[in-house]
Amino acid sequence: MLQIDEFSSYHEELLEGRYDCMDRLVLNGYFPLGQQGGGFRSWWRKLTGSEKTLDDAHLQRLAGRFSRRVHAWAKKQTVALIHCAAGQRMHESNEKHA
């Protein structure tokens, strides 16, 4: 049986399964408030203070900022980012970059 390392122990309630090497990390996010319109509106009001700016342009701007920040962090930390489409077999596509 594999011994549990510190990372797995610390994040135990958030992890499914185990890993035997740490050469890649796959993050899948779930945003419960975003699953229904009312929850998303509540989150947007907390974020911006009102619903006046809840439109496509502002959502795209927010997504763009988030993406640029993630890419900047990855570049600074020399972490490779690999974009996968929905349904794509991540493990198979990542083997090319190993």
Give residue 87's pLDDT: 77
pLDDT, tens only, 73-95: 989 988 888 777 777 776 666 66
Nearest to 30 by CA among 14, 44, 9: 14
pLDDT, tens only, 18-71: 666 556 666 667 788 888 888 999 999 999 999 999 999 999 999 999 999 999
Query: CA-to-CA distance for 82 and 93, rounded, in angstroms?
Result: 9
Is residue 1 assigned to a domain?
no
Give residue 51's pLDDT: 92
Is residue 59 assigned to a domain?
yes
Q: Which domain holds residue 21?
A: 6-95
Q: How many domains does the chain have?
A: 1
pLDDT, tens only, 4-22: 778 778 878 877 766 665 5
Is residue 66 assigned to a domain?
yes
Is residue 49 assigned to a domain?
yes
